[in-house]
């Protein structure tokens, strides 16, 4: 492999890049996470901490990732190594945690959505959706039993389809695979979400649900009068990171496929705004349906509001059962929307790792993607067993509370302290388009953002040490939480120690133009 020049492909159009970046950001998290996090942290008032988090951490780190990927023209290991060879391991760690930490269970959750999409056609979840989801579908026998006993073959089959689809998309170069897929997925996703929102807000009782979602409860966010308010602020920062797909080097990878002249800052701001607006918009469908359900079953709204899996797979099917007309169609639309949103994020998780390996070793993309997808599918199997939900809960907690934030912190330290922020800022400004404001961005990257991220990590450590997360047995937390995070360090260090083959990486010269 050593010797020859390795031509990296480029996005075919600016729209293609933007749709792929928005596709990564808009995912399951926007539909089932944002509206609940907003509701439980002050409703409409949550927008304030969320926007502050977006300004102080989300947008600055998004631009750090765009700047790094574009300037060094490569995936995280390559970009990090260009700054300091001692930091290459961190460049590996981010995409490895993304693929092993998130994608293994993300693929399984998309697999649940595929199953529920199929159940929609005959409302196969029955009347007791709670029992159906936890006992019949996830095969959870009784709480407190953490032995692997069964695999749900239906979930395993759907998970296989998810990995196969991702393989089919990522196998091709980004401009033929991910870009083409997102050109279809994203407009379709917007159309389906709009249909769901319009349908939901016209249901009886929807108005009450939506009011609960947007009504500001300022007391919840006021740190001076409410000692618990800091939790709302940390939730806002956590949500920004997760939803924008930051901290894992995905945006570094995506920006590395941009041509020399690109409106980096404009693109970054556009992706942040599009993702935020999608979250707020999708929240109307979620809370419209919850309002309808509370009204039709004559129960209090607070009783039907749930987050995560409980919302999508227990409450939503219950609400669909109550619809007066076209229940099957509504169900199919909702779960298909989730599948699309999940797939467009899933492929970005695989891409970051793939690109890291092809950048360093020059292996053929097809081979690398095939190995990652086969290994990924095998790794997903644990999440399709009867303890899958518990493992997922622990992994998700540790990745969100530590992995994502540590990734963002490393990026800030690297750009803010190892090299001059001015260097990256100048590069982004010179690339064309909107110009970045000097002082504000530099201060955020050097001081404000890393300080906030560090504080959040410390607070999470204190909380996790004081009591085991969600009362899970310590062996599970150590194995799937702490252990998994530490285990990903081994391959990261090993890959960073491997020698770089002597290859040149170059743009295709004819493609060095501003994408329009």
Name residues contacting ligand PFF, limited to 29-48 (CB under 6 A): 29-30
Q: Could you tell me the smallest distance in angstroms from the CB atom of residue 99 to ligand PFF?
A: 9
Element spanning 482, H or E: none
Decide whether 110 or 431 has the Cβ nearer to ligand PFF.
110
Q: Could you tell me the smallest distance in angstroms from the CB atom of residue 395 to ligand PFF?
A: 13
User: Which residue intervals of 399-483 are DSSP H helices?
Assistant: 404-413, 421-430, 438-443, 449-466, 474-476
- 3-class DSSP string for 184-243: HHHHHHHHHHHHHHHHHHCCCCHHHHHHHHHCCCHHHHCCCCCCCHHHHHHHHHHHHHHH
* Residue 27 interacting with ligand PFF (CB under 6 A): yes
Tokens for 499, please give them.
């020698």
Out of 102, 235, 305, 477, point to the residue binding ligand PFF (CB under 6 A): 102
Q: Could you tell me the smallest distance in angstroms from the CB atom of residue 163 to ligand PFF?
A: 16
Q: Could you tell me the smallest distance in angstroms from the CB atom of residue 64 to ligand PFF?
A: 15
Decide whether 106 or 441 has the Cβ nearer to ligand PFF.
106
Decide whether 21 or 206 has the Cβ nearer to ligand PFF.
21
306's CB contacts (< 8 A; 6+ apart) are 36, 314, 315
Decide whether 53 or 294 has the Cβ nearer to ligand PFF.
53
Query: In this chain, which residue has its C-beta nearest to ligand PFF?
Result: 27
Distances (CA, A) of 49 to 237, 240, 456: 8, 10, 14
Decide whether 271 or 445 has the Cβ nearer to ligand PFF.
271
Q: Report d(CA 229, CA 468) in Å as an integer.
A: 22
Residues paired with residue 505 on neighbouring β-strands, in sequence order: 6
Element spanning 45, H or E: none
**x/- map, 329-348, ligand PFF, by CB under 6 A:** ----------------x--x
* Residue 267 interacting with ligand PFF (CB under 6 A): no
505's CB contacts (< 8 A; 6+ apart) are 5, 6, 7, 8, 73, 74, 78, 359
Q: Could you tell me the smallest distance in angstroms from the CB atom of residue 196 to ligand PFF?
A: 17
Rounded to 10°, the helix 153-170/365-380 angle is: 160
Name residues contacting ligand PFF, limited to 236-265 (CB under 6 A): 242-243, 245, 248, 250
* Residue 449 interacting with ligand PFF (CB under 6 A): no
* Residue 349 interacting with ligand PFF (CB under 6 A): yes
Interface with ligand PFF (CB under 6 A):
24-25, 27-30, 98, 102, 242-243, 245, 248, 250, 345, 348-349
């Amino acid at each position: 492999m050593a010797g020859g020049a390795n031509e990296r492909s480029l996005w075919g159009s600016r729209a293609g890049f933007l749709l792929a970046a928005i596709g990564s950001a808009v995912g399951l998290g926007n539909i089932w996470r944002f509206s609940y996090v907003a509701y439980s942290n002050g409703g409409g008032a949550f927008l304030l901490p969320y926007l502050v988090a977006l300004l102080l951490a989300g947008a600055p780190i998004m631009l750090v990732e765009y700047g790094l990927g574009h300037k060094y023209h490569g995936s995280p290991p390559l970009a990090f190594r260009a700054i300091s060879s001692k930091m290459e391991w961190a460049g590996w760690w981010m995409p490895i945690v993304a693929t092993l930490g998130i994608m293994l269970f993300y693929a399984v959750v998309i697999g649940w959505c595929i199953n529920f999409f199929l159940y929609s056609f005959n409302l196969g979840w029955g009347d007791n959706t709670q029992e159906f989801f936890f006992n019949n579908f996830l095969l959870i026998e009784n709480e407190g039993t953490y032995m692997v006993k069964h695999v749900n073959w239906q979930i395993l089959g759907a998970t296989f389809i998810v990995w196969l689809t991702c393989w089919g998309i990522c196998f091709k170069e980004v401009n033929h695979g991910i870009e083409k897929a997102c050109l279809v997925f994203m407009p379709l996703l917007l159309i389906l979400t709009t249909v769901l929102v319009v349908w939901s807000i016209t249901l009886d009782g929807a108005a009450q649900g939506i009011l609960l979602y947007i009504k500001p409860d300022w007391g919840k966010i006021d740190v001076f009068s409410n000692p618990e308010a800091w939790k709302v602020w940390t939730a806002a920062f956590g949500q920004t990171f997760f939803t924008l797909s930051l901290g894992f080097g995905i945006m570094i990878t995506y920006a590395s496929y941009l041509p020399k002249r690109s409106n980096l800052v404009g693109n970054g701001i556009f992706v942040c705004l599009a993702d935020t607006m999608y979250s707020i918009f999708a929240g109307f469908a979620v809370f419209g349906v919850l309002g309808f359900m509370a009204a039709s079953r004559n129960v209090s709204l607070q009783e039907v509001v749930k987050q995560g899996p409980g919302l999508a797979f227990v409450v939503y099917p219950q609400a669909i059962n109550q619809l007066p007309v076209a229940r099957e169609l509504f169900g199919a639309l909702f779960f298909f929307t989730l599948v699309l949103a999940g797939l467009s994020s899933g492929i970005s998780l695989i891409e970051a790792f793939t690109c890291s390996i092809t950048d360093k070793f020059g292996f053929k993309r097809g081979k690398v993607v095939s190995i990652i997808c086969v290994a990924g599918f095998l790794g997903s199997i644990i999440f399709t067993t009867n303890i899958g939900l518990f493992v997922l809960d622990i992994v998700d907690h540790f990745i969100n509370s530590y992995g994502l934030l540590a990734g963002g912190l490393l990026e800030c330290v690297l750009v803010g302290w190892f090299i001059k922020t001015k260097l990256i800022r100048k590069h982004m400004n010179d690339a064309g388009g909107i110009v970045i404001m000097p002082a504000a961005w530099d201060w955020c990257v050097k001081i404000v953002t890393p300080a906030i991220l560090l504080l959040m990590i410390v607070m999470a450590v204190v909380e996790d040490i004081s009591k085991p997360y969600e009362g899970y047995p310590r062996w599970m937390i150590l194995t799937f939480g702490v252990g998994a995070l530490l285990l990903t360090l081994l391959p990261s260090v090993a890959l960073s120690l491997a020698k770089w083959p002597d290859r040149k990486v170059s743009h295709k010269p004819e493609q060095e133009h501003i994408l329009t």
